[in-house]
Structure 1
Amino acid sequence: MQPLCHDDESYALLQLKESLVINESASSDPSAYPKVASWKVHGESGDCCSWEGVECDGDSGHVIGLDLSSSCLYGSIDSNSSLFHLVQLRRLNLADNDFNNSEIPSEIRNLSRLFDLNLSMSGFTGQIPAEILELSDLVSLALGDCGLQGEFPMGIFQLPNLRIFSIRYNPYLTGYLPEFQSGSKLETLMLTGTKFSGHLPESLGNLKSLKEFHVAKCYFSGVVPSSLGNLTQLFGLFLSDNKLHGAIPESIYRLQNLEILDLSNNFFSGSLELNRFRNLASLLLSYNNLSLLTSHNATFPLPKLQLLSLEGCNLGELPSFLRDQNQLEILEIGDNKLEGHIPKWFMNMRSLPIPPPAIYEFKVSNNKFNGEIPEVICNLTSLSVLDLSNNNLSGKLPPCLGNKSNTASGKIPKSLANCTKLEILNLEQTNINDVFPSWLGVLPDLKVLILRSNGLHGVIGKPETNVEFPRLQIVDLSNNSFKGKLPLEYFRNWTAMKNVHNEPLIYMQADTSIDISRASVTNPYPYSMTMTNKGVMILYEKIQDSLTAIDLSSNGFEGGIPEVLGDLKALHLLNLSNNFLSGRIPLSLSNLKELEALDLSQNKLSGEIPVQLAQLTFLEIFNVSHNFLSGSIPRGNQFGAFDNTSFDANSGLCGEPLSKKCRNGEDPLPAPKEDEGSGYPLEFGWKVVVIGYATGLLIGVILGCVMNTRKYEWVVKNYFARWEK
């Protein structure tokens, strides 16, 4: 019989439970649930060896394993935690919880028998304590995605039994690779997304047991050492997004077990002989200067290839070997110099008369393709992501895309309401002649709606329910023919614009996940858009997740600006210019503490500029020109930085920066004192490029109908491409 749990260990577990709270938002895995809910002290379930997540030794009854991963736990773990009383522990998994920026206590040394420690995505932060070096039995150590920082203790690499080591996605953790000794047992080394730097040492070749080497998105430089060829067990090599240069060493062809090779976003030159990689399932070479070679007698290179990324490789023509890739699921060849018609064989992806391929993601954006989209694209029944944007395509869309994509003219297809996972819909400048698509409000995950520069018309009216567009945070209806009053009932519904979230810099993206070889690849697809920001049309190659914006400019809206707009406190951009709005500027706009651009120009607004608007200390652009405003211009804070063009053509306005002086009694008032608790400014940490309107057809992103998108917060945690056994 299984011996009963020891009383002191049962008590320690209950203390641990009491020190934490259950909070669903503390775990991001959609299948997370509170395992500790089953822990009870009395009755048949009083034996801790029967509690969920607890493992006991069959002979002694000691607690030797604790798996509380994805258990919705929130709270702090400090040096006094009863966790460190469980000195018999051999396995400890606290991954995917939120321990509230706790530092890993030095008391971790008490768990000296640990051979498996997993703290990934658990809210720990600070420096890695040197006391971890005392855990000499460690075989597997995972501290990934924790907010760790400071200098990495290099002695961890020398732990004698370490086989699996992952500290990836800790962007403030610095370090370098040591001189590896022969006899190392390391099989998996994951440093992706850290601040590790320096050169890849020649001694890397001593890791004869290494199967996965992840150093993507780091700061490594120099050349790849020829000793890489000694790693004959390697099946996954990830070197992307570093500053590596030079030729790929000839020794790489000795890696006959290699199935995943990611060299993208470096400065590599020279060539790769594709036919010498017989087992590659995934090849990513984007944004390098590598040429691809195939032997004349090798008509079918890369027979197992499932993922190919050749974006930004200066390709002038399609590689001929693509005709024979009958396993391909993801193809990315955007940002090249490809031109002419899209060949039909290119869509079929095989020349043999067998069923069409299971293409999952197809990206050929930013090329020079012209003509129509071949109707054979309708054969790609597994398609989840299609990006043909920024080409010179013309003509009608294939009929099958009526249920999968945007439309080139006419009305917005109501079949889009079936795309319940849709997060971004961009139909800008596509000759749509329709009324406002209120039926899109049923989409529970729609965040971005861009219908700019079309023939949309009529009154927007009232929503049918008070839950329409629940997650909408960016809406651009500019340059259409809407009329009537501003849709204040919709403003009340847009709850995602009401709450300010000061979160780390993350971007909106979709997450496509497929199984490739022995790994599952999560391939992020960042959303992009163009939008007027502070008077300039800007391309957002990535959209910051906290960006909130409304652009209703250049329409025929009339009547007053509703006070309810002041409830949208997360707004960063508000553009109501070039309409027929009248009445006063509502005082409630002073509640928009995050606002960076406010454009009310070219309307019929009257009255004074509320002095409280000077409290908007993040405001960079303010334009009320060409109205009927009067009185003195507020002064103080940001208002001191606005020039006279912000106030032009308002005959009743006076005071700086205008040349018209105010009369006695009209002196401009200083900004009132701002209440405490204002937020922080949005930092535009992404690359922006000023562009004009593009000609040709923008298909954009087609997502939702066939994609099984995971819970968005889980996607955020998995921002970078992830490969797991």
Structure 2
Amino acid sequence: MASFLCYLMSTRLLFLIPLLHAIATSCFASRQPVLCHDDESSALLQFKQSFHWNLNSCFDPSDYPPKISSWKVEGVDTDCCSWDGVECNEETGHVIGLDLSFSCLYGSMLSNSSLFSLVHLRRLNLAYNDFNSSQIPSGFSRLSGLTYLNLSASSFSGQIPLNISVLSKLTSLDLSFNSELHLRSLQGLVFNLTSLKDLGLRYVQISSPVSEILGNLSCLRTIYLTGCGLHGEFPPGIFKLPNLQDLRVVYNPDLMGYLPEFYSSSLLKILSLAGTSFSGKLPDSIGNLNSLNELWIGDCNFSGHIPSSLGNLTQLIYLNLSGNSFVGQIPSSLSNLISLKYLDLSSRLVTSSNQSSLPWLGNLGKLTFLSFQGISLTMEIPLSLANLTQLRYLYMDGGKLRGPIPSWLANLTQLTVLALSFNFLEGPIPVAIFELKKLTLLNLYSNNLSGIVTLDMVLKPKYLASLLLSMNNISFLTSTNTNTSQNKFEVLGLASCNLRHFPDFLRDQDQLQWLDLSYNNIHGQIPKWVWNTSKETLLIVNFSHNFITGFDQHMDNFPWPQLQILDLRSNMLQALPQIPPPSTLVYLVADNMLRGEISPLICNISSLYSLDLSNNDFRGILPDCLSNFSRSLSILNFRGNNFHGIIPQLCEKGSRMKMIDLSQNQFQGVLPRSLSNCKMLKILNVGSNRLNDVFPSWLGTLPKLRVLILRENGFYGVVGSPTTIFASPELHILDLSYNKFTVTIINKGKETVYPKIKEVFKAIDLSSNKFNGKVSEFVGNLNGLQLLNLSNNNLTDHIPLSLGDLTTLESLDLSQNKLSGRIPWQLTQLTFLESFNVSHNQLTGLIPHGNQFDTFENGSFDGNLGLCGNPLSKKCENHEQAPLSSSGIKEVQDSWFHIEFDWKIILLGYVCGLIIGVVVGNFVTKKMQCWFVRT
């Protein structure tokens, strides 16, 4: 029996030997490499030869030599499957993958490229090369097996061929960062890509709305549509895609939308809508997004309360709610977000004054970035910040913080940025703050800080590049024997720091970009060495509001060739340096003692945005070349000089001019008709000159004109009809006083030099002309009017009852006319009225009493023999005050007051300062803030 079994086993073994041999042979054969097909190897070599590559065409020098340099015709590595960036199918030898990203390729890609003969390709990555602004070839449609296509950041241009949509197997398509690419129809591109999981079109210009068809692509995981110029309504169904994990549509300011209700089944990890016009409230259901790691909705139009349900998102790492219009308190439930590293609640967020001391902040121990800019906290710097030992960036600007700067901030040893500007902080700056070794930016601008800061203190943080101590009560003390060569500043703000001379340590600075020494007590000339400071880097220089008399050297060329802003206002200069370089955007030398004529070389500053030479003693005529600025200049202020002659043609077609002030000079002739080209003009002031012209009704074609001042000139003739300048929808202030106009009915203006016109200031001044007739009842329709001056004319009839409807009126002057009848008792309803003058008319009856009328003195009513009652000594026989009847007042149908003026806000004298704030503010923001948004 045993022998039989042995026989049986040996017999079976004999049968197994051939089988085992076959298996072994097969396995051995499968291990043999399958070589690249000759036609595909040839196609790759042809593709290589169609491009150039060198170090200059690399995005990063470390990418050189590129992958493609290993492709060879002869030698050991002739098999294309072994070449860098090439992937082959192990069984067939066909090329199925090609990754030539960051390969320093330069040249145009053509539709007959040999690349398109690689029909077995599944994955193709050509990102980060330079295809020389060529179009994306239609030949990509021949690669029908593609599942992955990445052409991002490769300098393609033109229209995206819609035949890419035939690549129905695509799961990933990325054409991002080709800013010259255009797409006519997003729907036309993706409608057939039903397997698409990842779509990247960042900074591709898309001229169609976001198609609802995206909401039908159920496989989508990522959608990147950053900076595409999208418009219209964003389809809410996209938020509910079952597999969506990452949605980014940031920097599309015309893209509108709202957030729908969310469900806990959502897989969203990143939601980035920053810089769009999404609006509405944040739904409470946003707390259902359990997987959310990043929420970026800064600079949108969201409103309402911040939902406390945000505290449920315990996976959040980045949270940016800045730049919206939220109200109420910050919910303390945010204390649950213990994984947060980035929290930005800045800007228009409004909190109540009893916000407490933000104790919940102490729970967020992983925070590295915290910004509360613009939030009205009205508290001391909260002690809860002391727990945030990982914090690197702290922004609490403009928050109404009070009290001292606590010395315990120095325990936040990782701080690189500390920004506490525009608060009410007081007391000295703790010396310990300057022990923060990693500090790169310290911004304490505009507080109530006091005490002494020494140069040795600010030199302790070796990496401190931006220091802003301006607009406090600090005294900054320098030393001539301190070695400052190791500390390189980029931004230095020492305005209002009690400086008496130019700080000597500036000699060692060669990297400054912004230097502000304004509002100090610096006397005498600017030393020669100052002009050698940071010659190649300075962009912004502000020496205004000192006692500088001149310059210690003659300059053949201006020393700072990159300069963009030069502010020398309010000094004692009697001569100017050379004309600033062509790069200059803002040039301000107002309020000095400058004489002479303007050099025509000023017209070489081809990009000038703001030019202010006001309140000096410049003479001569203006150069005709000022019209060269027309397409760049926004603010032109020559007020208060002695220029004469004809005003040159200042505006060509396409002009961007917004403010022109030529007042208080000796200009003659007529207003240049080219002003009609200034379609963006908001303020025109030519008052107090010697102009001799008819009423400029043609200015009515300027759609944005808000302020027009023609006072004290020789303008004459009929003022015009409602279809002229008075039809301008933005007109706020009109001053035609002290001219020779004639008209039969009255309208607008006020004469006062306002250094800063209040936000809602609205005024009418038509005083000292030859206006006659009566004041129409329609004057009461000018809602929001604050000043009305119709004095020194020939107005007759009654004072309109409708003046009582101007409930915001603060000043009313009807003196020096021929008005008759009673003073309407309705005027006692004007509870804001501070100044009232009806003197030297023909008014009769009892002076009304009550409210503001009880505060006016005799001078308001002098020269009206028929008036009686307080404050006059003349008593009335009948003390009864009867309302003035409105019968007999016939409304003139073509009255100017039929026009519905849109009274809006206006900044007049403050415009120059405003533009400086905008330009400098943008610069400082880039230097001071780590704006990090998921794009």
Q: CA deviation at 1:429?
A: 0.9
Verify: 1:495 aligned to 2:729, yes or no: yes
For 2:289 and 2:457, locate their aligned partners in 1 and report how far apart those are by CA, in whole Å: 48
CA deviation profile, 1:593-644 (whole Å, cap 9, x unmatched):
3221122222333444344333332221122222333444344333332222
* In structure 1, C-alpha distance between the alignment counterparts of 2:395 and 2:289, rounded to whole Å: 29
What is aligned with 1:67?
A: 272
Query: Superposed, which structure 2 residues align to 1:68-467 within 5 Å?
Result: 68-77=273-282, 81-100=284-303, 102-145=304-347, 146-149=349-352, 150-157=355-362, 159-178=364-383, 184-249=389-454, 250-272=456-478, 275-276=484-485, 278-291=487-500, 300-320=507-527, 321-324=529-532, 325-339=535-549, 345=555, 348-349=558-559, 356=581, 358-372=583-597, 377-395=602-620, 400-401=625-626, 404=629, 405-406=636-637, 408-416=643-651, 420-435=655-670, 440=675, 443-460=678-695, 462-463=697-698
Q: Given residue 409 of structure 2, which amino acid in structure 1 is its aligned partner?
A: L
Residues 168 and 474 (structure 1 numbering): CA distance in 2 closer, same or farther, change over 3 Å?
same
Kindly indicate whether the alpha-carbon contact (under 8 Å) linking 1:574 and 1:597 is maintained by their aligned counterparts in 2.
yes
Superposition map of 1:475-554 within 5 A: 475-487=708-720, 489=722, 492-496=726-730, 537=752, 539-540=754-755, 542-554=756-768
Question: Structure 1 residues 481 and 65 mapped into 2: Cα distance closer, same or farther (>3 Å)?
Answer: same
Q: Which residue number corresponds to residue 503 of structure 1? A: none
CA pair 362-337 structure 1, distance change in 2 beyond 3 A: same
Q: What is the distance in 1 between the residues matched to 2:731 and 2:439? A: 48
CA offsets per residue over residues 50-74 of structure 1, 9 Å max, x none?
866499xxxx970112223333234
Larger Rg computed on CA atoms: 2
Q: Secondary structure at the match of 2:730?
A: helix
For residue 394 of structure 1, report the CA deviation from its aligned partner.
4.6
Distance 1:205 1:373 in 2: 53
Deviations 1:339-387 (A, max 9, x none): 3589863982359999946333333444444555555544444433333
Aligned partner of 1:667 in structure 2 is: 881
Tell me, in whole angstroms, the C-alpha distance in 1 between the residues paired with 2:556 and 2:329.
51
CA separation in 2, counterparts of 1:256 and 1:401? 47
Aligned residue type for 1:40: G
Amino acid at match of 1:283: L
Range 619-628 or range 441-450, more displaced: 441-450
2: CA distance, partners of 1:140 / 1:392: 54
Output one character per residue of 1:493-532: Cα deviation in whole Å (capped at 9) or x when no partner: 2433689xxxxxxxxxxxxxxxxxxxxxxxxxxxxxxxx9
2:405·2:430 contact (CA, 8 Å) conserved in 1? Answer: yes
Decide which moves more: 119-128 or 245-254. 245-254
Picking from 576, 579, 590, the partner of 2:790 is 576
Q: One-letter code of the match for 2:276?
A: S
Question: Contact 1:261 / 1:282 at 8 angstroms: preserved in 2?
Answer: yes
In the alignment, the residues of structure 2 paired with residue 155 and residue 107 of structure 1 have an alpha-carbon distance, to the nearest angstrom, of 15
Q: Distance in 2 between matches of 1:344 and 1:31?
A: 51
Distance change (3 Å), C-alpha of 1:347 and 1:140:
farther
TM-score, L = length of structure 1: 0.74
Q: Secondary structure at the match of 1:175?
A: coil
**The one of 851, 865, 882 aligned to 1:637:** 851
Query: Could you give the per-residue CA deviations for residues 563-621 of structure 1, whole angstroms, max 9, x where no partner exists?
Result: 55444323222223233444444444444332211222223334443443333322211
Instruction: Report the Cα distance in structure 2 between the residues aligned to 1:464 and 1:269, rounded to whole angstroms.
Output: 51
- Matches of 1:174 and 1:400 in 2, distance apart? 54
Amino acid at match of 2:235: S
> Structure 2 vs 1, CA of residues 471 and 378 (structure 1 numbering), >3 Å: closer, same or farther?
closer
Deviation at 1:215, TM superposition (A): 0.4
Distance 1:568 1:331, change over 3 A: farther
Cα-Cα RMSD: 4.6
Q: Alignment partner of 2:474: what SS?
A: strand
Matches within 5 A, 1:583-622: 583-622=797-836
Distance 2:637 2:473 in 1: 37
Query: Quick one: structure 1 residues 255 and 578, their matched pair in 2 at CA, closer, same or farther if it must change by over 3 Å?
Result: farther
Q: Which runs of 4+ in 1 moved over 6 A?
A: 1-5, 30-35, 44-47, 341-344, 351-355, 700-704, 718-721
* Alignment partners' CA distance in 1, 2:537 and 2:706: 39
1:465-517 Cα deviation digits (max 9, x unpaired): 6xx34444444333333344555525742433689xxxxxxxxxxxxxxxxxx
CA distance in 2, matches of 1:442, 1:703: 25
How far apart in 1 are the matches of 2:401 and 2:726?
A: 47
Deviates further, 413-422 or 136-145: 413-422
Change (3 A) 1:218 1:670: farther
Moved more, 103-112 or 212-221: 103-112
Counting only pairs closer than 5 Å after superposition, residues 654-693 of structure 1 correspond to structure 2 as 654-664=868-878, 667=881, 669=883
Identity rate of aligned residues, in percent?
A: 33
Q: Contact 2:610 / 2:912 at 8 angstroms: preserved in 1?
A: yes
2:673 & 2:860 partners in 1: Cα distance?
Answer: 34
Larger CA deviation: 410-419 vs 593-602: 410-419
What is the Cα deviation at residue 211 of structure 1?
Answer: 2.3
Contact 2:360 2:384 (8 Å CA) reproduced: no
The residue type paired with residue 518 of structure 2 is E
Q: Is the 8 A contact 1:480 1:554 kept in 2?
A: no
Structure 1 residues 331 and 543: alpha-carbon distance in aligned structure 2, compared to 1, 3 A threshold? farther
Change (3 A) 1:154 1:671: farther
Tell me how far apart the structure 2 counterparts of residues 175 and 561 of structure 1 sit (CA, whole Å). Answer: 56
Q: CA deviation at 1:243?
A: 1.8
Which residue type is aligned with residue 121 of structure 1? G
**1:693-718 deviations in whole A, cap 9, x for unaligned?**
xxxxx9x97899xx9x99xxxx79x8
Residue identity matched to 2:498: N
SS in structure 2 at match of 1:227:
helix
- The 1:550/1:434 distance shift into structure 2, 3 A limit, reads farther
Cα distance change, pair 32–310 in 1 and its aligned pair in 2 (3 A): farther
Are residues 188 and 398 of structure 1, via their aligned partners in 2, closer, same or farther at CA, if it must alter by over 3 Å? farther
Other structure's SS at 2:644 match: coil
Choose from 217, 237, 251 the match for 1:40: 237
CA deviation profile, 1:182-241 (whole Å, cap 9, x unmatched):
982212110110122232233333333322211011122222233333333333221111
Offset from partner CA, 1:20-63 (integer Å, 9 cap, x none):
xxxxxxxxxx9996686233379x989766866499xxxx9701
Preserved contact between residue 272 and residue 290 of structure 1 (Cα < 8 Å): no
Distance 1:211 1:319, change over 3 A: farther
With CA pairs under 8 Å and 6+ residues apart, which has the higher RCO, 1 or 2? 1
Give the 3 Å change call, closer, same or farther, for CA 359–133 of structure 1 in structure 2. same
